[in-house]
Structure formats: structure tokens, C-alpha cells
Amino acid sequence: MLQGWFQISLTLLLIVAITPLLGGYMARVYLGQRLLLDPILNPIESGIYRLSGCQAQENMTGWQYARAIVLSNIAMALLLAFILFSQGWLPFNPTNLSSPTWDTNLHTIVSFITNTNQQHYSGETTYSYFAQFAGLGYMFFVSAATGLAVGIAFIRGLSGRPLGNFYVDLIRTITRIHLPIAGLATVILIAAGTPETLASPVVVPTLENPAITQAIARGPVAHFEAMKEFGENGGGFFAINSAHPFENPNALTNLLQILGMVAIPASLIYTYGIIANNRKQAWLVYGLVMVLFIGFVTINAIGEYNGNSIVNALLGSQAPNLEGKEVRFGWAQSALYATMTTGTMTGAVNSLHDSFMPNGGFVMFSNLLLQIVWGGQGTGTAYLFAYLILAVFVTGLMVGRTPEFLGRKIEKREVVLASFLILLVHPIAILLPGAIALSLPSAGAEVTQGLFSGIANPGFHGLTQVLYEYASAAANNGSGFEGLLDSQPAPSALWWNLSCCFSLLAGRYIPIVSLLLLADSMSRKQPVPLTTGTLRTDTGLFTGVTAGVILILGALTFFPILALGPIAEAFQLARGG
């Protein structure tokens, strides 16, 4: 037990140590300050700008920034569509895989362009090497860089700066942040045993009967895995993701993946402190998120360590709960990984989320609903400060102070945009398709034709499985609670592919546009001098109030589905049901 808690504590200390280093570096990147790589990267970036016709010095408005994102993402999606639908005759396809069904391809395209990487397929048996590294791997970079660009534009707007240029932010994010980090991580992964090869699967005789052979899949996994984690992408090269020994060979790679998920979103809060010239507030907000994360990890870890009381009574010494877990990592690393991957909106898994105790289901579900612990790459930090804006407004009303943030008044437009972002978009993207799915006939019903949802697990756990799928899509996380027939050739795969596309798109682009308009509105406001009537936001008291606003507005919005899902399941388990 002590060893497990020590592992968790050591990982948290490493996260805190990384934050000012990476956060300071990212601030220098986005402030245009001199970097060690400038002599190499400046000519490359200048060439890209000339070829693309981008005016690197041109600042964009909120609408212009949003339009650039949407148009560029459409172009990227079309390129990915060509690769996926044509993979049968493209190179590096050693197992001669043909293109899967149109709806699987559509869902995959939408999922990867939105930085979600929700997978309704098995990677090694569905997509070729070329489709994975040239198509999906390409999306790892551009979708993650899009989110980070939004986050930095939002931070600039809050601090009164121009929002910047999307194309410049996109290129600088890839060349100066993602490529160097992913390159270093790839070398470490290869050294630790992760394969990086274009060779065909290895065919070997089985131990039980040498006359029977087994094909062991492999491929260019190491570089795919590196950007999977550091870009908060989460899509696995293999079906079982980071539970596969080729994706996650040992404790070192497991630690690297956990740090990779959180490194950029945690450091971006520190980057905010530098750009806004308010490091005190950055550390206070950082502490708020860290406290929430530690609380969630503790709840999850306690549940996994204590195990299932019913199973423990039958077997005597079953605890901790290792069902669906990799024994290489155990209960502590499984709980930490699951909390981190849903908190950071990465979606990678080193254990089966469906197998966790109700504690874990509650924690992972809550992370997807809140989206700020630590949140998606770039967008998570933006969501967090949207909560701060709402907290400023609510607190100002209660104490009669002027609602201001960083010296700029919070008025109707800002409150409407922040409320729309927090209180409407996310619930609609989850609850609307979830209600329809629950009303459709299940896979267990006698359905021979027509549309059905493929829900095979009734009860509290089944409700969690359905709503988790849409929460994962809307939060651009991509992890699954499983138990759903969402892969071909199941007829219900069509429903899940199409309905999840709605949540994926709504959960990505509507919030992005709202965030950029909110940032643009803040950037245009004239700064107001501090007075005795100004509500200061860089205090411990206000940070505590913000935590209360997050819990009231965020958690209570979704409390009914948490109560009917993991909480009800916990009470059922406690009664021996």
C-alpha cells in the first residue's frame, strides 16, 4: 500500500517540478523571445509562411481566428479522408487491409481532427501503417496544436494583448514545442523497448501447439506513442492502447506517459502567469487544480485498493481490485493513469475503465464533465479562466464590488459567452444524444432491422456506459467505458459512429468559437485602474470562491446523471447487490 501511495506522490512532485521549466519555455515561444533553436527554425518557418501566403505579422480578430481554425481543419480532414478511404492501394500496408466502412471512417476523421481520438475500431486490424502514421499521426500534431493555439490566443485576450495569428501559432506550436518534445520522448520509448518498424507482423508458433501459429502485430509505434501522450491525443496504435506491452513496455514508459499527458496543460497555467504578468494568480489557480486532482486520485485509488467487497468475501484475499488491470502497473498506477487521462482529456488507457470500482467511475466521469482538471490541451486552461470570469461576476454581485478581471470590466457579453460555454454546450452535447440512445431498443431486444443502440448492460452501470461515451466525445477525451457494440460489424455501430460525431463536433468547435469571441471582447476593453472597490482575483479567498463556483455550476449541472450512474452503483455494491 505505502509503495503505491509513494509512486503517486513522486509523480505529483515531478509534475510540479516540470511546470515552471516548460511553462517558462512556452511563454518565450509565444512572446516571440529568442530561443536556442531559432537559427534552425526561423528559416524553416519563414519558408512555410512564404509558401502558404501567410502574413506572419497580421493579428486576427476573434472571428478571423475562428474562421482560420475551421477552414484549416476542414482541409486537414479532407486529406485524412483521402488517406483512410484509399488505404487499400497506398503503400506500407503489409497485411493488405482494405478501407473500413464509410461510417467508421467518418467517425475516425471527425474524432481525430477534434483531438479526441475516440476509436470505434481496433488499430492493428483496421488501418495500415501508412494510414496510422501519415494520416492519424499527422492529426496528432495539427489537432493538438490547434487546441494549444486557442489556449494561447485566449490568454493573450485576457491580458489585453491582440489575439495573434492562428497560422503562426499553429506552426510555432508544432516546430518549437511538439516536435522537440515528441522527438525526445520517441528516443526514450525506443530505448525502453517500444518498437519503431515498418516490418510486417511476426508469425510465431504458439506454446500450446507448435503447429498453430500466431501473428504478433508491430509497427512504427514509438513516435506514434510519444505524440499520443504529449499532444493529449490518446488514440492507440493497438486496440488495447497503453495496456499493450509494445505501447507501454514497463514502469519507465508508464511514468513518461503520465507526465506526457499533463506536462503541457499544467505548464500552460504558468505560461499564463508570465504573459499576464501575474504569477501569483497563476500559482493559486494551479494549486486549485492540483487540489482537485489530488482529491480525485485519492478517491479512485482508495476504491481500487479496497477492491470489490463481494469478491473479497468470496475469495478472501482479492483486494486490491485487479480485474481489467495490468499487473505490471498494479492498483496505484492504474488509478493514477485513469484519473490523469480523463483529467487531461487525453483518453489513453493502461487498464479497462469499465473494470474500475464505482469510485473510479465517479472520478473519471466527473473529470469529463468538468473539463478543467487539467483539461484539454489549450482549451482546458481557457475553460478554467472562463470559470474565473463567472466567479468574478458572481462574487461582485454578492459583495457589491466592481466585477473586473485583470483590470478589465466583466459585462453582459462576457457573462453570456462564459455561461453559454459552461452551462449549455457541454450538457446538450452529452444529454441529447444520450437520451435518444437510451430510448432506442438495445442489442438484447429482438431487433432484426432498423436502428438500435446496442446497449447490452442494463442498470446503473449501463447508464454510465452510455453517457460516458458521449461525455468522452463532447469533452474531446476519447476514452471509453465499453459495454457498447460500437464497432463493425455490429449493426449498432452506425448509430454510435453518427451520434458521437454530433457530440465530437459540438464539443470542439462551438466552445472554441465562444472562447475566441470572449477573448476578443476582453482584449478590446480599456484597462481600469485599481481602486478600493476593485475585487482582487489573485487572493486565496477568491480562489476558494472559484472552487465553489466550479463545483456549483459544473458539478451540480450533471449531478443527476452522476447520482443515477456511479453513485447509485456504489450504494448497490455496498448493499451487496
Q: What's the predicted TM-score (pTM) here?
A: 0.93
Segment 343-366, tens digit of pLDDT: 999 999 999 999 999 999 999 999
- From CA 333, how far away is CA 340, in angstroms rounded? 10
- Closest residue by Cα to residue 325 from 317, 334, 338: 334
Q: What percent of the chain has a predicted confidence (pLDDT) above 90?
A: 60
Mean pLDDT along residues 120-127 = 92
Residue 131 has pLDDT above 50, yes or no: yes
Mean pLDDT along residues 447-452 = 47
Segment 185-215, tens digit of pLDDT: 999 999 999 999 999 999 888 888 888 888 8
State which amino acid sits at residue 537.
T
Enumerate long-range contacts of 317-326, CB under 8 Å, 24 or more apart.
321/355, 321/356, 321/357, 323/355, 324/351, 324/352, 324/354, 324/355, 324/356, 325/351, 325/352, 325/355, 326/243, 326/248, 326/350, 326/351
Residue 90 has pLDDT above 80, yes or no: yes
Q: What is the pLDDT of residue 577?
A: 60
Check: CB of residue 365 under 8 Å from CB of residue 39: no
**Where on the phi/psi map is residue 58: left (φ > 0), alpha (ψ -120 to 50), or beta?**
beta
Average pLDDT in the chain: 89
Residue 396 has pLDDT above 90, yes or no: no
Residue 87 has pLDDT above 60, yes or no: yes
Residue 5 has pLDDT above 50, yes or no: yes
State which amino acid sits at residue 241.
N
Per residue, what are the HEC states of 490-512? CCCHHHHHHHHHHHHHHHHHHHH
Mean pLDDT along residues 22-28 = 96
User: Which three cell numbers mark 244?
Assistant: 499493450
Q: What is the pLDDT of residue 451?
A: 54
* Other beta carbons less than 10 A from residue 65's beta carbon: 28
Secondary-structure breakdown of the chain: helix, strand, coil percentages, each rounded to the nearest 5: 65, 5, 30
Segment 315-349, tens digit of pLDDT: 666 678 888 888 889 999 999 999 999 999 999 99
Segment 462-496, tens digit of pLDDT: 889 999 999 999 999 999 888 787 888 777 888 89
Q: What is the pLDDT of residue 114?
A: 96
Residue 552 has pLDDT above 90, yes or no: no
If pLDDT is split at 50, 70 and 90, which confidence band does 415 have?
A: confident
* Annotated domain spans of the chain: 2-574
Q: What is the pLDDT of residue 318?
A: 65
Burial 79-114 (b: 16+ CB within 10 A, else e): bbbebbeebeebeebeeebebbeebbbbbbbbbbbb
Q: For residues 287 and 424, which has the higher predicted lDDT (pLDDT)?
A: 287
Burial 229-266 (b: 16+ CB within 10 A, else e): bbbbbbbbbbbbbbbbebbbbeeebbbbbbbbbbbbbb
Mean pLDDT along residues 51-72 = 89
CA 208 from centroid of its chain's CA atoms:
41
- CA-based diameter of the chain, in Å? 84
- From CA 125, how far away is CA 107, in angstroms rounded? 17
Check: CB of residue 434 under 8 Å from CB of residue 401: no
Segment 151-175, tens digit of pLDDT: 999 999 999 899 999 999 999 999 9
Kind plus residue range of the DSSP H or E element containing 202? strand 202-205
Q: What is the pLDDT of residue 453?
A: 59
Q: What is the pLDDT of residue 338?
A: 96
